[in-house]
Amino acid sequence: MCQATPAVVAHRGASAQRAEHTLGAYELALEQGADALECDVRVSRDGHLVCVHDRRIDRTSNGRGVVSELTVPMMSGLDFSGWRNPSGERGVLTLEMLLELVAGTSVKLFVETKHPVRYAGLVEAKLVALLARHGLAAPRDAESSQVVMMSFSSNAVRRVRQTAPRLPTVLLFDRMPNGRRSGELPSWADCAGPDIRLLRQDPGYVARAAERGHPTYCWTVDEPADIELCRRAGVRYIATNRPGSTRSYLVDQR
């Protein structure tokens, strides 16, 4: 039986149409009706959380170098959008800027901390400190929290649970963890985060996780057949590079 309509999470913004992790990509996602935004964060040399997926900036900008060796001013003149669309947007996007974009709205922000990194647990410490400054580190409950922390690193998710116990967390995985096919998760993880390929093999996992109190965040879901699989399985959050078309499909199926 079909469950409630999944929430649409814009993966790195509307990244099928705009350069990922740019303000333009996130603004377009909001225009397209995304329920939530997703970003990856790393720590720059000068201690800022910047929205960059890769260890290096080479793929997504006209510059070169490792994120942890570059300061925000060093990246301020670089073009992070021209490789995908000629918007003229320059400078690296910081998490602070993204928080300002969703401030005062009901849009959730899913923040993935990347590992392994040079600074290890500093990225989670910086994240919790930044959220605390914005009054977002200690939500009333998981449902009302505007920010959700995610990582493939068990240690990273555990660190956030220890320092910000009320902040909801997602444990991401692209292989089924040993002994976890039952849908059970560690006490420090609230939500299961499987790759869509895992759900193609075992769509029943979503129901088993839900029976144990864990909603599912599935990534990265762009094709109609996969959207339908997630809808029928009862996935709570669909991370997609195409928030506009994904939302349209879900609306048509209501």
Based on the residue annotation, tell me whether 115 is a catalytic residue of this protein: no
CB of 46 within 8 A of CB of 35? no
Give the span between the Cα atoms of 141 and 130, in whole angstroms.
19
Radius of gyration for the chain, computed over Cα atoms and rounded to the nearest angstrom: 17
Burial of 62 (C-beta count, 10 Å sphere; 0-12/13-18/19+): middle
Cβ–Cβ under 8 Å, residues 62 and 89? no
Catalytic residue among 48, 53, 115, 214: 53
Query: For residue 90, which of 30, 32, 19, 29 has the smallest C-alpha distance?
Result: 19
Residues contacting residue 11 through CB under 8 Å, at least 6 positions apart: 38, 219, 220, 239, 240, 241
Measured between alpha carbons, how far is 35 from 10 in angstroms, rounded to an integer? 8
Backbone dihedral region for residue 88 (phi beyond 0: left; psi -120 to 50: alpha; all else: beta)? left
Cβ neighbours of residue 78 closer than 8 Å, sequence gap 6 or more: 57, 61, 62, 63, 90, 91, 92
Q: Which of 11, 21, 48, 214 is catalytic?
A: 11
Is residue 21 among the annotated active site residues?
Answer: no
The dihedral through the CA atoms of 16, 175, 39, 135 has a sign that is positive
Catalytic residues: 11, 53
